[in-house]
Structure 1
């Protein structure tokens, strides 16, 4: 009969044994060892070779780990070394560095005629109970934001931890706001520079909390990372379609590649258009990410299908570092919004002026309408008009408001 506390592949203590062991310790140093990109070995050589590599890796960790420590296999490519000794920061660093250096210099023999190289990343935490295992995993996640084949000691005061806590806060906040209808859409006018009249509006989400409005810059990234982005987008669609159902204005809605990957957007937009009797040609979908996302066939296919139904496509923040003129010409959107930082500085920064001139010229030749954001003064508006920009948006014409002007 198999011992439930032993890993059947490597014959070392398993996750169940680790949890029991940690619960009985008042103090421990945890080294969570993760094999970098181990899935590549399984994909390249097959699971049989992968298993052979894990057996050899476990044997080598047992050799190189601190002398008084115990070794456990946590998951497929994760091992845990637990040491009860009181260890200084230097001793922790030396132990982790020693294990990393060992694997950097050692080939793993998986069969008679095959050796492979692996590298490891280590998350370190100190304390008691099973919670320190979570801390070690968090340390690895923080480490891998920047590099691999290294180690990181868990720091509860690090900016990474604070960001994780902030994301947890916002995921609850967004879900509550959605359920309680406190996700509120505001509308900012977009002016036709030839007629001088408001022709369109951009729909912008806010969270309303006891009369205090939270702008999207505070929560959109957390929403994307925590999987609540579709709630935000759906709320904007529902509110804006209802708002513009009895008007003739066009309006734009911000979407991201995440909305498209979830594969709900086209159906949701078409149903909303039918429900509120709005022709899709009145709706522009603003891509929030850079234009390089159009390299993805799935996204490109959905956008082309939306255009087929009549929806217009707008590229937002063009002119930023990641913009791609070649992709722009290939996709040929209906509208292009010049990155607001260039418009804001157009009177004082020669580079900003040159970039705006180049973008406007390209769009004119490609039959793409240009929108300037961040138009905050009459002087900036005069320059924008002089350059031939088709539309303007900014506080010079009006800030985002809950009601239409």
Structure 2
């Protein structure tokens, strides 16, 4: 049987196989996982041959910069591991990582004659035994890179990031089960016309139903994104809601995502279901998030405009929750705008929220865009919404999401 080589042929340092073998028998170790920031840029700009020369030099520099008694391994293209067997305090681990980061920050690597570059590194640190610490160090780098680079992070099993990762794993399993067992169900929340005091619209909202317990999308949509099933969720909502509203004349809205737009299936799928259930496209509102970046993409913008030509309406959801672009709003001119619920919820107690809502109302009145106020949770808030001239209201005071369509009027 051929023996697995234990040294990297490019840098001549121990490789991943050697690292795994080394870690297996250790009762205690500190591992520094070193990742070269944006290394692809070097390959793309200078070529792979130059990239290889840089990696050889990085290995040499890490041999100089690492803690004296530690061992160096190259485990992936631009990823190195340093293992130290000493008992080290958190402060010593932090100092060692900071020292390596600073060393690279002050060192240039020659890539060609008269051309030197600097590289920066990110370091994930884990303490423990066995091969598990390699995965923990990699998780630490992932958490670090959500916020910054050229820094370090010590693995913390109790961090919010780790808990989120664990929750995603749980919901990835649950969303898979929900599709297999057809437990994705659409609920409908009424939207009140403030001029007539009648419910004329509904928002269609997806839920997972398990043993009578309902799970809202905020719990599982990230897992759906990770598993590539976001478009299947949207298709489920479209099919179920079109069937539900085939029996009446109400308008209804469906939330769509960036993924739905990039996959470019909406027009065909919506028209197919409109024909199947006898739904006029003018009764269907497609809600897109205010922070969606697709309105600046010509292909997506044309897709939305094509849907509007068929008669489908467009609403901008959660307006004001991010960096609202009033110019883009006026240029696109949606049929509806839904003011972010945090402003409506606090409209009676927070002057800034009131000022923002008043400004949005003025803008929309002049632009012939109808407004829907979300999070209307009390009679007092509803009275204020009506006083401001907002055309529609939605919230638990007026009706919770339900599997059935609610009452048609509100006193």
1:14 maps to 15
Indicate if the aligned counterparts of 2:371 and 2:390 stay in contact, CA closer than 8 A: yes
Describe the SS at the equivalent of 1:245: helix
2:335 maps to 334
Describe the SS at the equivalent of 1:219: helix
The structural deviation recorded for 1:292 is: 4.6
CA distance in 1, matches of 2:5, 2:267: 50
Indicate if the aligned counterparts of 1:291 and 1:315 stay in contact, CA closer than 8 A: no
Q: Which moved more, 1:208-217 or 1:341-350?
A: 341-350
2:53 maps to 52
1:372 maps to 373
Please say if 1:146 is aligned against 2:147. yes
Indicate if the aligned counterparts of 2:337 and 2:371 stay in contact, CA closer than 8 A: yes
Please say if 1:284 is aligned against 2:285. yes
CA distance in 2, matches of 1:5, 1:96: 26
Count of residue correspondences: 405
CA distance in 1, matches of 2:292, 2:164: 27
Describe the SS at the equivalent of 1:385: helix
- C-alpha RMSD of the superposition: 2.2
2:404 maps to 403
The structural deviation recorded for 1:291 is: 4.9
Unaligned runs of 5+ in 1: none
The structural deviation recorded for 1:27 is: 2.9
Q: Which moved more, 1:325-334 or 1:256-265?
A: 256-265
Indicate if the aligned counterparts of 1:292 and 1:323 stay in contact, CA closer than 8 A: no
CA distance in 1, matches of 2:211, 2:193: 36
Give the direction of change, closer, same or farther, for the CA distance of 1:221–1:87 in structure 2 (3 Å limit): same
Q: Deviations over 1:208-260 (max 9, x none)?
A: 22112222233334433554323322221121111112211110011121222
Q: Which moved more, 1:355-364 or 1:86-95?
A: 86-95
2:220 maps to 219
Indicate if the aligned counterparts of 1:343 and 1:372 stay in contact, CA closer than 8 A: yes
CA distance in 2, matches of 1:263, 1:132: 42
Describe the SS at the equivalent of 2:14: coil
CA distance in 1, matches of 2:346, 2:69: 62
Please say if 1:171 is aligned against 2:186. no
2:388 maps to 387
Indicate if the aligned counterparts of 1:31 and 1:122 stay in contact, CA closer than 8 A: yes
Give the direction of change, closer, same or farther, for the CA distance of 1:14–1:263 in structure 2 (3 Å limit): farther
1:124 maps to 125
Q: Deviations over 1:277-321 (max 9, x none)?
A: 222221111113525542233432332232233221100111234
2:409 maps to none
CA distance in 1, matches of 2:65, 2:397: 66
2:245 maps to 244
CA distance in 2, matches of 1:196, 1:57: 70
The structural deviation recorded for 1:81 is: 1.2
Unaligned runs of 5+ in 2: 407-411
The structural deviation recorded for 1:45 is: 2.3
Please say if 1:275 is aligned against 2:276. yes
Indicate if the aligned counterparts of 1:377 and 1:396 stay in contact, CA closer than 8 A: yes
Q: Deviations over 1:99-152 (max 9, x none)?
A: 111101111122332110111111111223222211110010111122211111
The structural deviation recorded for 1:334 is: 1.0
Indicate if the aligned counterparts of 1:257 and 1:289 stay in contact, CA closer than 8 A: no
2:66 maps to 65
The structural deviation recorded for 1:41 is: 1.8
